[in-house]
Structure 1
Amino acid sequence: CIISGPPQFKDKGELNEWIARPSQASVDFKCSVCGSPEPNITWYVGDRQINSAVSGGKYKVKRKISLVVEGLTKKDATEYTCVAQNEHGFINHTFELKVIDRVLTKPVIHGPVNQTVTYMDDVKFECKVVMSDLQPHIQWLKHYQVNGSFENENEDPYVHIIQV
Structure 2
Amino acid sequence: MECVANARPLIKMVITWRKDGVVVSTGIRDFGRRLTISLPAVSDSGYYECEATLRSSTVPSVNAGAYLHVLDHPQFVKEPVQHISAEMEKVVDIPCQARGVPQPDIVWYKDAVVISPVKMPRYRVLVGGSLQINGLLPDDTGMFQCFARNLAGEIQTNTYLAVTSIAPNITAGPADSAVIDGMSVILHCETSGAPRPAITWQKGERVLASGSVQLPRFTLLESGSLLISPSHLSDAGTYTCMASNSRGIDEAAADLLVWARTRINTPPQDQSVIKGTKATMTCGVTHDPSVTVRYVWEKEGSVINAQSIPRIRLDPDGTLHISQTWSGD
**Which category of TM-score, normalised to the shorter sequence, fits these structures?**
0.5 to 0.7
Q: What is the alpha-carbon distance in structure 2 between the residues aligned to residue 83 and residue 55 of structure 1?
A: 19
2:161 paired with 1:92: no
Please say which of residues 83-92 and 95-104 is displaced more in the overlay: 95-104
1:56-100 alpha-carbon deviations (Å, 9 max, x no partner): 522111225011111112111101111001111111111100011
Q: TM-score, normalised by structure 1?
A: 0.57
What amino acid sits opposite 1:67 in the alignment? L
| Structure (1/2) with the larger strand percentage | 2
Is the 1:38–1:86 contact (alpha carbons within 8 Å) kept by the matching residues of 2?
yes
Q: What is the alpha-carbon distance in structure 2 between the residues aligned to residue 88 and residue 50 of structure 1?
A: 23
RMSD of aligned alpha carbons: 2.8
What secondary structure does 1:25 align onto? Answer: coil
Q: What is the alpha-carbon distance in structure 2 between the residues aligned to residue 100 and residue 70 of structure 1?
A: 14
2:150 paired with 1:83: no
What secondary structure does 2:121 align onto? Answer: coil
Q: What is the alpha-carbon distance in structure 1 between the residues aligned to residue 159 and residue 166 of structure 2?
A: 21
| Structure-1 residue corresponding to 2:221 | none
Q: Report how far residue 104 of structure 1 moved.
A: 4.1
Q: Report how far residue 7 of structure 1 moved.
A: 0.5
Q: Which has the larger radius of gyration?
A: 2
Question: What aligned pairs does 1:1-164 form with structure 2 within 5 A after superposition?
Answer: 3=42, 4-11=71-78, 14-52=79-117, 54=118, 57-63=121-127, 65-104=129-168
1:87-132 alpha-carbon deviations (Å, 9 max, x no partner): 111111111000111234577xxxxxxxxxxxxxxxxxxxxxxxxx
Q: What is the alpha-carbon distance in structure 2 between the residues aligned to residue 19 and residue 89 of structure 1?
A: 28
Q: Report how far residue 9 of structure 1 moved.
A: 0.8
Q: What is the alpha-carbon distance in structure 2 between the residues aligned to residue 42 and residue 81 of structure 1?
A: 8
Q: What is the alpha-carbon distance in structure 2 between the residues aligned to residue 58 and residue 15 of structure 1?
A: 19
Q: What is the alpha-carbon distance in structure 2 between the residues aligned to residue 103 and residue 89 of structure 1?
A: 46
Gaps of 5+ in 2: 1-40, 43-70, 172-191, 194-254, 258-329
Q: TM-score, normalised by structure 2?
A: 0.30
What secondary structure does 1:51 align onto? Answer: coil
What secondary structure does 2:81 align onto? Answer: coil
Aligned residues: 109
Greater length-normalized contact order (CA 8 Å, ≥ 6 residues apart) = 1
What amino acid sits opposite 2:144 in the alignment? Y
Q: Report how far residue 51 of structure 1 moved.
A: 2.8
Please say which of residues 43-52 and 69-78 is displaced more in the overlay: 43-52
Is the 1:55–1:61 contact (alpha carbons within 8 Å) kept by the matching residues of 2?
no
Is the 1:22–1:99 contact (alpha carbons within 8 Å) kept by the matching residues of 2?
yes
What secondary structure does 2:139 align onto? Answer: helix
Q: What is the alpha-carbon distance in structure 2 between the residues aligned to residue 64 and residue 80 of structure 1?
A: 17
